[in-house]
Structure 1
Amino acid sequence: MLDVRNVSRLFGTKAAVDRISFSVERTGFVGVIGRSGAGKSTFLRMMNRLTDASAGEIRFEGRDILALRGAEMRAWQSQCAMIFQQFNLVPRMDVVSNVLHGRLAHRATLPSIFGFWPDDDVLKALAILDRLGIAEQAAKRAEALSGGQQQRVAIARALMQDPKVILADEPIASLDPMNAQVVMDTLRRIHDEDNRLVIANLHTLDTARRYCDRVIGMRDGRIVFDGTPDQLTTGVARDIYGADASFSETATSTSIEALGTRGDDAYARELLA
């Protein structure tokens, strides 16, 4: 299904992503963890073609998406939806219009600019908002919503694309613990109900353990762990986060409610004995 082969991204002489390789045989919920600067976001941006790779191949269903150009690349981006840490909504636009922007690749540009959408698109957007529990917010400006609600609007916009892959780049890093849990529950339910491949960059071990089928750990642009959540031992955490002292198992199992708003660097420091 997905085959990443020796993918690198150089910025000058520094490798932000350094010859990483892994395969995903079937749809699943894959978490990518690591410190800030480990290469997590750069990898997702290469998958979505927001950043060019320096070398390697990313094959999805047999096609190298890094080789796509023009209309073919834009078609891939519509199949590979991206959810960002800071939501990337239009603040002064109403919620349903933000969701409808997920159909921009499928509709004529001029009518979309003036807000003319087919009735079936509007009904689909409202149905998705209802599925995510925020249909009553449809007419409000996006800026009037809480952070957790805005992130669910961003997820709804991604679902409007009807994508095969959903990429989530630190989707809960800026949320309070309660909203973080709601957003992660939503992403997990989308995978379970729709059978879509979800790849999420996450900033705590506990979140990865709780929601993911598979976890990939990155450090200094390289993959240093690839396994199941129950294999995320303190020794593995040490390899991923670069800690040079012993870890407390109770710290690594701290709940998502306590860690929902902390970055991975702060979390790694907390794990140090």
Structure 2
Amino acid sequence: MLRIESLTKRFGANTAVDAASFTVDAPRMIGIIGASGAGKSTMLRMISRLTDASEGRILFDGRDVLQLRGRAKRAWQSDCAMIFQQFNLVPRLDVVSNVLHGTLGQRSTLATMFNLFPREDIHRAIDILERLGIAEHAAKRAEALSGGQQQRVAIARALMQEPKMILADEPIASLDPMNAQTVMEALRRIHEEDGRMVIANLHTLDTARRYCDRVIGMRLGRIVFDGTPAQLTTGAARDIYGAGADFSEDATSTEIRDRDLYAEAALRDAEATV
């Protein structure tokens, strides 16, 4: 389905992604890991055509998406939905309107200006929110929701595009462990139930092992690991992060080891702000 061939991106004298190549032959859930500056975000931005590549090819079902222009490029960006760390919602709009913005590329300019959406799209947006467990918040402003809820709204907006592939750029980086787990479980269900390819940039090894079928490790713009979660050993992680023998995965873990302790800590924090 997806073939990346010698994909390269240069910013002046700096090479952000250096001749990256990999193939995905069926819908998978793939995690891309690596230190900050490894090239993970640039990789996803090139696949989604938010950033142009310097060299290489991106083939999806045999079509080179780097050659697409105009309407064909916009159609690809609908097929290839992006989810960002910052959510990118309109804070003062209600939740369902934010979700409906996933259809803007399919609507006329006039309909977009006046927020005019067909009734069937509104029902579909609410159905997607129901699927993600946040339909009761449909009429609330997006800014009134927690970070985890807002990220699920962003996922719902992406699903409104009916994409063939979902790209998630650090979707849980700004979330607490409980919300991070909820968001990752939602992405995993979408992959399994819809048969959609999901590629997510992740910053923790336990998350990649738990939710992904395949893990790609990047270091200084190059792919230095490509394997199953079971093959992602501590030694392999040291190579990906360029770390020494004192490298500890605990420092990057988002696993919820004790929900009661986590709940108690959250309660103490809440009480401290009262």
Residue 89 of structure 2 aligns to which amino acid in structure 1? L
User: What does 1:1-273 correspond to in 2, within 5 Å?
Assistant: 1-248=1-248, 251=250, 254=253, 256-257=255-256
Taking structure 1 as reference, are residues 189 and 15 closer, same or farther at Cα in structure 2, changes over 3 Å only? same
Residue 95 of structure 1 aligns to which amino acid in structure 2? V
Q: Find the residue that maps to 1:256 and give its secondary structure.
A: coil
Residue 124 of structure 2 aligns to which amino acid in structure 1? K
1:115 deviates by 1.2
Q: Residues 204 and 252 of structure 2 are in contact (CA less than 8 Å); yes or no, is this contact kept in structure 1?
A: no
Q: Find the residue that maps to 2:89 and give its secondary structure.
A: coil
Residue 105 of structure 2 aligns to which amino acid in structure 1? A
Q: Residues 170 and 202 of structure 1 are in contact (CA less than 8 Å); yes or no, is this contact kept in structure 2?
A: yes
1:251 deviates by 3.5
Report Cα offsets for 1:84-107 as digits up to 9, x if no partner.
000000000110000000001111
* TM-score for the superposition, normalised by structure 2: 0.91
1:75 deviates by 0.3
Q: Find the residue that maps to 1:244 and give its secondary structure.
A: coil
Q: Residues 142 and 150 of structure 2 are in contact (CA less than 8 Å); yes or no, is this contact kept in structure 1?
A: yes
Q: Residues 234 and 252 of structure 1 are in contact (CA less than 8 Å); yes or no, is this contact kept in structure 2?
A: no
Q: Residues 177 and 254 of structure 2 are in contact (CA less than 8 Å); yes or no, is this contact kept in structure 1?
A: no
Q: Residues 30 and 215 of structure 2 are in contact (CA less than 8 Å); yes or no, is this contact kept in structure 1?
A: yes
Matches of 1:86 and 1:180, distance apart in 2: 14
Matches of 1:255 and 1:136, distance apart in 2: 27
Matches of 1:188 and 1:144, distance apart in 2: 26
Residue 130 of structure 1 aligns to which amino acid in structure 2? E
Matches of 1:254 and 1:213, distance apart in 2: 19
Q: Find the residue that maps to 1:223 and give its secondary structure.
A: strand
Q: Residues 96 and 126 of structure 1 are in contact (CA less than 8 Å); yes or no, is this contact kept in structure 2?
A: yes
Q: Residues 168 and 200 of structure 2 are in contact (CA less than 8 Å); yes or no, is this contact kept in structure 1?
A: yes
Q: Find the residue that maps to 1:101 and give its secondary structure.
A: helix
1:253 deviates by 9.2
Q: Find the residue that maps to 2:159 and give its secondary structure.
A: helix
Matches of 2:254 and 2:50, distance apart in 1: 33
Residue 179 of structure 1 aligns to which amino acid in structure 2? N
* TM-score for the superposition, normalised by structure 1: 0.92
1:201 deviates by 0.2
Aligned residues: 257
